[in-house]
Amino acid sequence: MEACLKKKVGAVLLPGDLFTFERPETISLSANTKAEKVICGPGLRRDGDDVVVCKSGVLRHKHPNMYWMDSQQRRYVPAKGESVIGIVTTKAGDVFKVDVGGSEQASLSYLAFEGATKRNRPNVQVGDLVYCQFIIANKDMEPEVVCIDSSGRANGMGVFGAGGLLFKVSLGLVRRLLAPQSEIIKDLEKLFPSELVLGMNGRVWVRAATVQKTLIVANLLESCENMSAQQRQTLFRRVAEGNL
């Protein structure tokens, strides 16, 4: 199965395309790595002894054995463990409601912040941006997010966003930006040093030295959506020359 999938990495696939396990008795979706084990990411679904494509796009592979479909999708489907940028919409007792870009809002407990207690409540207001992580995300339960990791530490999560700009891009572009050693991020840092917060739900927050540079960075990131590496470098070079 893994050898069959590897042959298709980089190919455009459509919903309904099927990969059949050759030796189903040896296949498992556990994290342990063996030659025939496969982990299905977004856009792929396990159906008995088969892997079915359920979202059109380009098949991608991450070492050692994870596969997913890379597409220009903008509609976000929450997934447990993913970190997203949410917008606080209401305060209802001990729970905040957060817009995460999915089909329904997620709940965020006031205790789901580092150091929060009944006496020491976090200062969260309607309209605030929060960087949070899903702990519950399935079709049968209300989504729930937290701003702490498994050790109870914020680890970069919580309320943020003062003085920056929030905008939306495709989910595929966000994954490219979040990839280790992302070429887009490297080129951008050489051009304009800036702060970036990237959510798996397609939301991006940026803050540069000035408002003008913040807007330029946002426009450049949006322009990278459908550009090749050469086109992107040409664009960045023109911007750099125009600011000398």
Per-residue pLDDT of the chain (244 residues; tens, 9 = 90+): 566 777 788 888 888 888 875 544 433 433 343 445 778 887 888 887 788 898 888 888 887 888 888 777 778 889 899 999 999 999 988 899 999 998 899 999 999 999 999 889 999 999 999 999 999 998 888 999 999 998 999 999 999 988 899 999 988 899 889 988 899 999 999 898 899 999 999 999 999 999 999 999 999 999 988 888 899 999 998 998 875 4
Residues 153 and 173 in one domain: no
Residues 124 and 98 in one domain: yes
Of 160, 189, 218, at which residue does a domain stop?
A: 160
Residues 169 and 155 in one domain: no
- Residue 173 domain-assigned (yes or no): yes
- Residue 38 domain-assigned (yes or no): yes
Residues 169 and 154 in one domain: no
Tell me the C-alpha distance between 175 and 180, whole Å.
10
Residues 91 and 105 in one domain: yes
For the chain, give the longest Cα–Cα distance: 63
Residues 116 and 101 in one domain: yes
Of 160, 193, 220, at which residue does a domain stop?
A: 160
Q: What residue numbers bound the domain in which 40 lies?
A: 2-70
Of 20, 40, 70, at which residue does a domain stop?
A: 70
User: What pLDDT, on the 0 to 100 scale, is given for residue 32?
Assistant: 40
- Residue 76 domain-assigned (yes or no): no
Tell me the C-alpha distance between 204 and 85, whole Å.
8
Residue 166, Cβ density class (10 Å: 0-12 exposed, 13-18 middle, ≥19 buried): middle
User: What pLDDT, on the 0 to 100 scale, is given for residue 2?
Assistant: 63
- Residue 77 domain-assigned (yes or no): no
Residues 182 and 234 in one domain: yes
Tell me the C-alpha distance between 143 and 34, whole Å.
33
107 close to 144: Cβ distance less than 8 angstroms: yes
The CATH number of the domain holding residue 207 is 3.30.1370.10
The CATH number of the domain holding residue 106 is 2.40.50.140
Please give the backbone phi and psi of residue 165, each rounded to the nearest 5 degrees, phi first. Answer: -125, 130
User: What pLDDT, on the 0 to 100 scale, is given for residue 204?
Assistant: 96
The answer for residues whose C-beta is within 8 angstroms of residue 77's C-beta and 6 or more apart is: 42, 102, 103
User: What pLDDT, on the 0 to 100 scale, is given for residue 22?
Assistant: 53
Q: Residue 130 belongs to what H/E stretch?
A: strand 129-136
Residues 186 and 148 in one domain: no
- Domain count of the chain? 3
